[in-house]
Amino acid sequence: MHLHRRTFLGSAFGVAASAMLPRVAWGHEKPPFPLYDTHAHFYSNDPSRYPFNSGAPKEYAERAVARAMAHPMTPETIFKMWDENGVALGCGVQYTTTYSTDNTYLPDVSRAHPDRIISIVILDPVGADAPATLEKMAREDGIAGVRFTGRPEENGEFHFLSEKAAPSWEMADRLGLAIVLMPVGNLQEMGVAMARVGEHSHRYPNVRIVLDHIGFPEPKTLPESFGLTPEHLALAGHRNVFYKYTNLLIRQLQAADVAARPFLEYVVKTYGASKMVWGSDIGNTQGTMQEFVHEALASAAGLSAEEQRALFHDTAAATFIPGGRPA
């Protein structure tokens, strides 16, 4: 199985993967430290105010709209789940499957709840208006970063890592915003993307680059490194590259018969917990917050208390700064 092949609607995978998991009646005991969820998707079931504008293929878009109408991921819904499971705050990640680059709903809810939600928006990285929009949203909406995703173009280059995207990266660097990356491709293409990430980390030192799902490793293909390519591993020495460990990735590991605990321990040994954050992917991956927290904490049982706190709270708090950080 290719772990990097995430559809636009990851929940389609999540339904199948979660069905394989035992449904255990876990208790509601909260962790000994506050959790910071860096990957929550918010969406409304009020299309008259927040029209759906999906960037996904039709079948996924229709499924996402139906789910949003039946089960909206509003602040009230997510806060209840967060409160029940010890999550203090988190990043709202713009959901391309419902809104594409229409960043209307997420900044609205984060402005209403600045103590709980920090926005990560999605823009066209090569759009002429992207730099000015980033500056405006950092100033007026307090966004902490922008997310770029996609497959490589015919020439093998990812558009968000190309020279065409340089103005967006330069603005993010000037503002001190995080750039969350989710390149999607085969193993060779992901290696190319990781090499470019290394180049960008030097070129834009005031950007904190965060790799969604740790760059979709393929442990079945590269078992000796739990699926991390040499280009993945070469990023270990880059001070401004960070790694997002998610429940989508945990489910993909389970589906590939790879235990999450030794995987996480290897990744923490490689990069350090101070370079890692956790995200539930609530609103996309199927499951409950209780399951997500349990899975993530169980996989981290072999880490020290200091490493756990860094992974589940402290690194994120230092990485995602509303409005950005000075150079």
Domain annotation for the chain: domains and CATH numbers: 11-19+32-319 (3.20.20.140)
pLDDT, tens digit, for every residue of 209-268? Answer: 999 999 999 999 999 999 999 999 999 999 999 999 999 999 999 999 999 999 999 999
pTM across the whole model: 0.91
Which of 15-29, 111-125, 143-157, 304-318 shows the lowest per-residue confidence on average (mean pLDDT)? Answer: 15-29
Q: Which tens digits make up the pLDDT trace of 42-62?
A: 999 999 999 999 878 888 889
Please give the Cα distance from 179 to 133 (Å, whole number): 14
